[in-house]
Amino acid sequence: MDWQPRSRAQQEALDCAADILLFGGAAGSLKSETLLVDAVREVTHPGLRAVLFRRSYPELEKSLIRRSRELYAATDGVYNEQKRRWTFPSGATVEFAYCESDKDIYRYQGAEYSFIGFDESTHFSEFPIRYMLSRLRSTSADLRLRVRLASNPGNIGHGTHKAIFHGETCTHCHIGPDSRVPYRTYNDAAWPSDGRLIGKSTCFIPGRVTDHSLLGADYVASLESLPGAFRKALLDGCWDVYEGQYFDNWMPERMIVKRAIAPVEGWWPRWVAADYGFNISQAAAYLFTKSPEGTTYVLEEYTAKHQQAADFARALKTRWQRDGCHIVAWYLSPDAWADRGDGHSLADQMQQAAGIGFTPASNDRIGGAMLVYSQLDSGRLLLCDGCRQLREALPSRIHDPNRPDDILKVSGDPLDDCLDALRYGVYSYVAPAAEPRETQLQRQVTSGDPTIAALQRRLAENRLRQASNGNYLSSRRVREL
């Protein structure tokens, strides 16, 4: 095949020795072409089995398949329309595949590939990519096994890509102490959903339209004219802000506090909200508290996969009903009360096992999401630094294209369960009670002299008595918008 790299970034991507590479970021960076060329670099080897994915068949036909006809025309390969597969004289093959839903990936159970590519890979959740790693194998020891991802920022897989290849902040915008530096290979990347090590080396190589001149000044000008989020993602390759992002107000430096120094008082009310899942999702729960001024703190996070409902409830009780900590409410996803056909619900099992009186959480998806958004924006919702999965969930959620005010529900995405539990906790809780009377009195008695202290206490009691006349808190639920 008579072909030469069009940019230094493209050459770097083709030469990358990492097992898993993410290439691109910006539009016009020749991502699809790079995948197609990389897939046939060992085309003379009879054992080469390559597969390239897009989300849907129409996307395949308009991009990878069409471009392959141009690139592979100079080879002796033959394309089979029905099988969507190129076969070369050596016996090597390049196959095109699509995966419209996560379960479609099971079509490739038992398959074996030495090269796996995902074009527009952020359109896939973590699961299909993770599953296909189990298909990365070959009986030919001299074939180099590798996975190649190519994508712009955004869509359902954005959070997974950012966590693995960037860290908490976009390396295009800022390289911090925990950032994953572009072009550098790492051997300790973990899956965001459960923290398990991937077990493969990873690397990110940025690509931009300005790396070459093939698309012309008019195309660059069209990207420059896009509105803010579109421009930052497609022209600059920014992974912090992108079009379709639900929580586009996400600012971790302002919204995350260190648990050890959070200004939380022991007498503030605490409550728990949980979303239970077992099979394709996970169980997630959060411990909350709220200041008298109305600031909600998400103190701690607990997540578990494949944990029985009773064990999950006992774990929550052991973890959070400790050291005299009084939980004023336990909220649980409403679907836990569904009859499972035996006269018992998951909520029944959990309550009997742990002795916890759960309350069905409010499941107003749009109202809850909008309240989370507004409280983050106003600074009245803060996350403690130990809530690792929630910190990944918030910036990675996108608008539902069919219900723009709602968050897109992604089946099987564990970060969805984290967001649901957060929404339950923020939207379901009653407004906090006032500071206990004795605590207020102690705070206003400042003198070490017994006589003066007694006088201060009497004056404080009079002030509290006057202030409380006719101003008792209502027992109605109050949501602060």
Span 174-206, pLDDT tens digits? 677 778 889 999 999 999 877 889 999 999 999
Q: How many CB atoms lie within 10 A of CB 227?
A: 8
Q: Which residues pair with 432 in a beta bridge?
A: none
What does the alpha-carbon distance between residue 401 and residue 324 come to, in Å, rounded to a whole number?
Answer: 46
Tokens of 13: 């991507």
Asked if the structure places residue 103 within a domain, the reply is yes
Please report whether residue 243 resides in a domain.
no
Same domain, 174 and 281: no
In 356-438, beta strands by DSSP E: 358-360, 381-384, 399-400, 403-407
Same domain, residue pair 417 and 447: no
Which single residue is written with the structure tokens 């890509």?
Answer: 161
CATH no. for residue 363?
3.30.420.280
pLDDT bin (cut points 50, 70, 90) of residue 315 is: very high
Tell which of 384, 403, 428 closes a domain.
428
Task: Give, for 147, the enclosing helix (H) or strand (E).
Answer: strand 146-151
Residue 268 reports pLDDT greater than 80 = yes
Indicate if 89 and 166 belong to the same structural domain: yes
Asked if residue 302 and residue 330 are part of one domain, the reply reads yes
What is the arithmetic mean of pLDDT over 333-347?
A: 84
Mean pLDDT across the chain: 86
Q: Is the pLDDT of residue 481 over 60?
A: no
The token pair that represents 332 in the structure block? 């649980």
Domain check: are 156 and 212 in the same one?
Answer: yes
pLDDT digits (tens, 9 = 90+) for 343-392: 679 999 999 999 989 999 999 999 999 999 999 999 999 999 999 899 98
Percent of the chain with pLDDT over 70: 84
> Residue 82 has what DSSP assignment?
T
The 10 Å Cβ neighbour count of residue 48 is 23
Say whether both 230 and 341 belong to one domain: no
Give the helix/strand (H/E) hosting 94.
strand 93-98
CB 128 within 8 A of CB 109: no
Beta carbons within 8 Å of 317's beta carbon, 6+ residues apart: 354, 355, 356
Contact 136, 198 (CB under 8 A): no
Tell whether 260 and 370 lie within a shared domain: yes
- Place 277 in a pLDDT band, splitting at 50, 70 and 90: confident
Q: Give, in degrees to the nearest 5, the angle at Cα 223 between 217 and 227.
A: 150
Q: What is the pLDDT of residue 59?
A: 95
242 part of a folded domain: no
The H or E element that residue 302 is part of is strand 296-304
**298 and 413 together in one domain:** yes
One domain for residues 208 and 354: no
Query: Looking at per-residue confidence, does 421 or 231 come out higher?
Result: 421
Q: Where are the beta strands (DSSP E) in 154-214?
A: 202-207
Domain membership flag for residue 44: yes
User: Is it the case that residue 105 has pLDDT exceeding 90?
Assistant: yes
pLDDT band of 215, cuts 50, 70, 90: low
* Residue 111: both structure tokens together: 């398959």
| Strand arrangement, sheet containing 115-119 | 78-80, 85-87, 93-98, 49-54, 115-119, 146-151, 20-25, 202-207
Task: Pick the last residue of a domain from 428, 452, 472.
Answer: 428
Domain membership of residue 301 (yes or no) is: yes
- What's the CATH number where 197 sits? 3.40.50.300
For 24, 123, 130, 330, 391, the CA distances from 153, given in Å and listed in that order, are 9, 10, 19, 37, 18
pLDDT (0 to 100) of residue 156: 86
Res 98: pLDDT: 96
* Contact status, residue 272 vs residue 300, Cβ threshold 8 Å: no
Q: How many angstroms separate the CA atoms of 441 and 456, rounded?
A: 9
User: Which has the higher per-residue pLDDT, 393 or 87?
Assistant: 87
Range of the domain at 337: 252-428
Burial of 423 (C-beta count, 10 Å sphere; 0-12/13-18/19+) = buried
| Shared domain check, 443 and 390 | no
The answer, yes or no, to whether residue 473 has pLDDT greater than 60, is no
* Structure tokens, 132: 């296909």
What are the beta bridge partners of residue 50?
A: 94, 115
For 51-55, what is the mean pLDDT?
97
Q: How far is CA 261 from CA 84, 257, 385, 435, in A?
A: 58, 8, 11, 20
- Is residue 247 a part of any domain in this protein? no
Under 8 Å between Cβ of 426 and 375 = yes
Taking the whole predicted model, whether its pTM rises above 0.75 is answered as no
**What are the tokens at 320?**
């959070």
* pLDDT for the residue numbered 476: 35
Q: Are residues 50 and 141 in the same domain?
A: yes
| Any domain includes 135 | yes
Whether 275 maps to a domain, the answer reads yes
Question: Model confidence over 394-453: pLDDT tens digits?
Answer: 988 999 989 989 999 887 788 899 999 999 999 999 655 555 566 666 667 676 777 776
Tell me the residue type at 112: E
Structure tokens at 51: 């597969």
Contact present, 466 and 403 (Cβ < 8 Å): no
Cα 99 to Cα 125: distance, rounded to the nearest angstrom: 11
Number of domains in the chain: 3
Q: Give Cα 324 to chain centroid, integer Å.
A: 34
Mark whether 339 and 373 lie in a shared domain: yes
Round to whole Å and give the CA distance between 478 and 481: 9
